[in-house]
Amino acid sequence: MKRTVLSTILVVLAGSVLQLAGSPAQGAPPKSGKIRHVVLFKFKDDATAEQIKTIEDAFRALPSKIPQVIGFEWGTNQSPEHLAQGFTHCYLLTFRNQADRDAYLRHPAHKAFGKLLGPHLDKVLVVDYAPGD
Amino acid sequence: MKRTVLSTILVVLAGSVLQLAGSPAQGAPPKSGKIRHVVLFKFKDDATAEQIKTIEDAFRALPSKIPQVIGFEWGTNQSPEHLAQGFTHCYLLTFRNQADRDAYLRHPAHKAFGKLLGPHLDKVLVVDYAPGD
């Protein structure tokens, strides 16, 4: 009986491994409803390193304040192709579905971040997509 | 003894689940060297649905031709924020490191895709980043 239980757990775990290994970032079919939220920033020329760091930290804190954010990563541009149109910061947020993305957009913590960001922002670009391979 | 073997496999599998669940898209620390390659397209107004479909299919075929692409997903913009600056298509490619990204950029299959794309492209934006949380 114990072996049966262990085997069952094993099969379930193996299934989880396959499912996770096949996440959209690895080229598997789209998960139902998942939304990727891509955000690009170009800061004003007079934004100081300290001001930019404050904004970076504030954005990084949003997932701890807004539970609908199930994935968060970011980095600064390092493309050698010179096609970034001045954008320096790229953020990739993931939501379970459109409703969670909408809840994020109207969340007070997101609004507060926008107020912090606004004075230092030259331009912003946002694209959301439902990931498929 | 069999139970020990099963338990060992179980622990290894559980470890894999945790590792995969903690991939950068889920907010874990950056993996050494990994590069995300974000590509946005806006097609010319006179590009037909058929021409756009041909380009979409050609881009989707690149991972099968260029082994350095370890992650590929894409979708069309569905952001309600009206901040996409006309871009309609978003692609997210993942490479193990900068060297693999560079190999992709100079790969003949990538160059051929560029030639197919060019005549129908209004504008393109590319940002690469090393994902951190």
Task: Please say if the pLDDT value at position A16 is more than 90.
Answer: no
In sequence order, which residues have a C-beta less than 8 Å from that of residue A72 and are 6 or more positions away?
A60, A62, A63, A91, A92, A93, A94, B27, B133
Query: Residue A32: its pLDDT value, please?
Result: 56
Query: Residue B133: its pLDDT value, please?
Result: 87
Query: Residue B32: its pLDDT value, please?
Result: 56
Alpha helices in B22-75 (DSSP H): 49-65
Task: Please say if the pLDDT value at position A22 is more than 50.
Answer: no
- pTM > 0.95: no
A121 in reach of chain B (CB within 8 A): no
B99 in reach of chain A (CB within 8 A): no
* Number of A–B residue contacts, CB under 8 Å: 166
Of the pLDDT bands very low, low, confident and very high (cuts 50, 70, 90), residue B21 is very low
C-alpha–C-alpha distance, residues A68 and A97, integer Å:
9
**pLDDT by residue (tens digit) across B56-112?**
999 999 999 999 999 999 999 999 999 999 999 999 999 999 999 999 999 999 999
Residue of B2, B8, B38, B106 best to disrupt the A interface, most CBs of A under 10 A = B38
Picking from B7, B25, B90, the nearest residue to A38 by CB comes out as: B90
% chain A with pLDDT above 70: 76
Query: Residue A133: its pLDDT value, please?
Result: 87
Is the CB of residue B89 less than 8 Å from the CB of residue B40?
A: yes
CB neighbourhood size of B114 (10 A): 12
Residue B17 and residue A21: Cβ atoms within 8 Å?
no
C-alpha–C-alpha distance, residues A35 and A97, integer Å:
6
Q: Taking CA atoms, what residue in B is nearest to A3?
A: B3
Is the CATH number 1.10.3720.10 carried by domain A31-129? no
Of B11, B119, B78, nearest to A97 (Cα)? Answer: B78
